[in-house]
Amino acid sequence: MTQAVRVAILFSGRGSNMQTLAHHLAKQSVPATFVLALTNRPDAGGIEFCQAQGVDCAVIDHKAFDTRAAFEVEMQKALDTARVDLICAAGFMRLLTPAFVTHWRDRIINIHPSLLPAYKGLNTHARVLADGGKEHGCSVHYMRAEMDDGPIIVQKRVRVHNDDTPESLAARVLKQEHLAYPEALDIVVKNLIDN
Ligand code: GRF
């Protein structure tokens, strides 16, 4: 690939990771351009950021579709129209089908708030605390058909404090997410450019 990598960012809520990636991409430290934001939630907080920044944001409400596959056909159309090379899932709370993930193999990455392979799935912070874990963190990984599976690109660790609540721990991990995702993006973009 010789031209700038065209990046889409998928999100479902407040979109702080999406915004962090958007600011990072704007710095042009690697040849990559943020061409499309995409959300499955019409009420996602991050939409406001996209509007303020003049970033194209596709809003595709998954509830309007009978099946995951039908929803993904619509997503794929938006991704194709924007000629996307790389998808970053950033707090995108929809499971993607194996067919979709396989189509985008090595061109779709995700951030997860745990030190994978530990604590796949939801409520990671509360589960770490319930287990009396001493260490927690986040992982950016290539997506594979299995949920929260795939080669790790970057991990960041935090210590768990005795007085942590799920909220305080989530806040500490989120700070690390905002460091991990830009780092991982740069690695993936460089790999794509070299191949
Ligand atoms: C992040 O903790 C992400 O790892 C998880 O959901 C949260 C989304 O936060 N999957 P935001 O929307 O990026 O602010």
CATH number where 21 lies = 3.40.50.170
pLDDT confidence of residue 164: 98
174 lines ligand 1 (CB under 6 A): yes
Q: What is the mean pLDDT of the chain?
A: 97
| Domain residue limits at 50 | 5-194
The verdict on whether 23 is a catalytic residue reads: no
Which protein residue has the closest C-alpha to ligand 1 atom 5?
Answer: 91
Report whether pLDDT(48) > 70.
yes
Convert the pLDDT of each residue in 79-129 to its tens digit: 999 999 999 999 999 999 999 999 999 999 999 999 999 999 999 999 999
147 lines ligand 1 (CB under 6 A): no
116 lines ligand 1 (CB under 6 A): no
* 130 token code pair: 């319930």
Report whether pLDDT(1) > 80.
no
Convert the pLDDT of each residue in 147-185 to its tens digit: 999 999 999 999 999 999 999 999 999 999 999 999 999
pTM of the prediction? 0.97
Check 62, 112, 125, 136 and give the catalytic one.
112
User: What angle (nearest 5°) sits at the alpha carbon of residue 26, between those of residues 176 and 102?
Assistant: 70
pLDDT confidence of residue 33: 97
Query: Cα(176)–Cα(2) distance, rounded to whole angstroms?
Result: 31
Report whether pLDDT(133) > 80.
yes
In ligand 1, the atom with minimum distance to the C-alpha of 92 is 10
The 10 Å Cβ neighbour count of residue 21 is 25
Band of residue 2 on the pLDDT scale cut at 50, 70, 90: low
pLDDT confidence of residue 87: 98
Residue of 10, 17, 127, 185 with the most ligand 1 atoms within 8 Å of its CB, for mutation:
17
Ligand 1 mean position, distance from CA 15 (Å):
7
Please give the average per-residue pLDDT across 130-136, as a whole number: 98
Q: Is the peptide bond before 117 cis (omega within 30 degrees of 0)?
A: yes
pLDDT confidence of residue 3: 84
Ligand 1 mean position, distance from CA 136 (Å):
15
List all residues 6 or more positions away from 20 whose beta carbon is below 8 Å from its beta carbon: 177, 178, 181, 182
Query: Cα(151)–Cα(106) distance, rounded to whole angstroms?
Result: 9
Ligand 1 mean position, distance from CA 102 (Å):
23
Tokens 């799920």, located at residue = 166
Band of residue 195 on the pLDDT scale cut at 50, 70, 90: confident
Please give the average per-residue pLDDT across 49-66, as a whole number: 96
Q: Number of folded domains in the chain?
A: 1
Ligand 1 mean position, distance from CA 90 (Å):
6
